[in-house]
Amino acid sequence: MPMRMPLVVLCVLAVTLVASAEQGSGGGQMMMPTPPKEMAKLDAMVGTWKGTGTFYGMGAPIQYDSVCKASKKFMGMYLVEEETDTATMPGMSAPMVVHDEMRVTWYDAAAKTYKVAAYDETGTPSVGTAHFDGNKFIAEVDMPSMGANQKFRATGTPDGKDSVKILGEISSDNFKTTTKFFEIAYKRAGGM
């Protein structure tokens, strides 16, 4: 049984390679997709970012540090962000990882909006949309891991060159009312 999965994967890979070789040899070339022009607006997010913020979601505010590495993937079709947050929790003497997340953002030309999918330690993906409001980038996602009707909004506002402030809010009434969840100030630490 353990060998069956690798064998299936190898067969699928072989069929894919043969099909692409046949397509290439017959004069027709396999065309790689071109990223929508809207993806260029996300170029400013690429790089390594380090920040310090405050988390308000567990009673007393907790200070935390964050490192976020963002890069474009698949010829610029996707922006992938990997974030790790650490904090020294009450009663602890050393910082520990309190949140790990990977986010993928792309532009859905048919829907005329950015789409976001976030994956974290809860094991329940969060999906939603994002848009620009002037120079602010606002992402709104459903948070099934936090309960029914829970939504999360992150608003990123540039704060000078190579720095951004992000406000995170949660809501259970589709953003008619919100509760501050976190705020953080990031500075670019490398890359572009």
Mean pLDDT in each 10-residue stretch from start to end of the chain (192 residues)?
36 34 50 89 96 89 96 96 92 89 96 96 91 96 82 94 95 93 94 66
Residue linked to tokens 């353990």: 2
CATH architecture for residues 37-190:
Beta Barrel (2.40)
Q: Distance between CA atoms of 183 and 19, rounded to whole angstroms?
A: 50
Please tell me whether the overall predicted TM-score, pTM, comes out greater than 0.75 for this model.
yes
Helix, strand, coil shares, percent, the chain, to 5: 20, 50, 30
The torsion defined by the Cα of 54, 56, 60 and 66, in degrees rounded to 10, comes to -30
C-alpha distance from residue 124 to each of 118, 142, 155 (Å): 9, 11, 22
Angle at 36 between CA 100 and CA 168, to 5 degrees: 30
pLDDT of residue 133: 96
